[in-house]
Amino acid sequence: GGIRPDLGYSNSPLAFENLLLVTVGGHNGQAVVAFDQKTGERMWASHSDHNGYSSPITIDAAGVQQTVFFTGTQAVSVAPATGEIYWTYPWRTDSYENVSTPVFIPGDKIFLSSPHPKDKGSAVLQIGRSGNGLAVSPLWKNNAMKNHFSTSIYKDNYIYGTDRAILKCIDSRTGETMWRQRGFGEGTLIYADGHLIVLGTYGKLGLVEATHTAYREKASAQILSGKCYTVPSLANGRLYVRNQREIVCLDFQQR
């Protein structure tokens, strides 16, 4: 009963021990599925929901290892080995556009964000014990950070990401906006050595200090044209970025 998402499948599978955990979308307990990595045999299926575009993560929270999926209308936590559902949290958006990956905040919290929410676009959920099981409740929920296709980054109590077309830093404990900066559109970003490497939607590359006190740009350059939707990759001192036509490799090593 799965339905192909309007914009195609973009979820990344998640490896867990001998399993491959995949968001497939579907009803009657068929929305998330685990396959045997070697044989492709279906080992378990769980949850019921329309497909979203987000990729799952495995976390340890409230003393329990769990995999969190951000499906079309909900966040859902399951036991990665069996598919048992630990908790769900409703998150309805236009066109089922839950795209960004949930961000784990070490301890027992998780950050969710979407671009077209029915009420609020971002929240931090508290994961805790409830009787013999688990439950979640929002610590805060507001419109300070509406991630579209770019996943935010958590560092030292602060969340850095794109609120639609504005690069922002918010306090993960309160949802308060610490600073904002235009110029990158709905860009993507990664963290490295105390800095954010930000690739704008139309090819502007920025090196920004990862601090909550103010926006501090160390360098920027226009390196590509056209649409840049792919997150940068950094390996062995080299940065790889691309648009829809070409890929560029930049030497980021200190001389």
Tell me the per-residue pLDDT of 213-241, one tens digit each, with 9 for 90 and over: 999 999 999 999 999 999 999 999 999 99
The yes-or-no verdict on residue 101 having pLDDT over 90 is: yes
CA gap 181, 236 in Å, rounded: 29
Over residues 160-173, mean pLDDT: 97
pLDDT band at 43 (very low <50, low <70, confident <90, very high): very high
pLDDT of residue 252: 87
Closest residue by Cα to residue 49 from 1, 86, 85, 120: 1
Closest residue by Cα to residue 210 from 158, 150, 143, 137: 158
Contact 232, 238 (CB under 8 A): no
CA gap 167, 182 in Å, rounded: 6
The yes-or-no verdict on residue 254 having pLDDT over 90 is: no
CA gap 107, 126 in Å, rounded: 9
pLDDT digits (tens, 9 = 90+) for 125-166: 999 999 999 999 999 999 999 999 899 999 999 999 999 999
Residue 168: exposure state from Cβ atoms within 10 A (0-12, 13-18, ≥19): buried
Question: What are residue 142's DSSP bridge partners?
Answer: 122
* CB contact set of 145 (below 8 Å; sequence gap of 6+): 113, 121, 122, 152, 159, 161, 163, 168, 170
pLDDT band at 175 (very low <50, low <70, confident <90, very high): very high
Secondary structure (DSSP) of 148-200: SSSPPEEETTEEEEEETTEEEEEETTT--EEEEE-SS-S-EEEEETTEEEEE-
The yes-or-no verdict on residue 46 having pLDDT over 80 is: yes
Over residues 244-250, mean pLDDT: 96
pTM recorded for the entire structure? 0.94
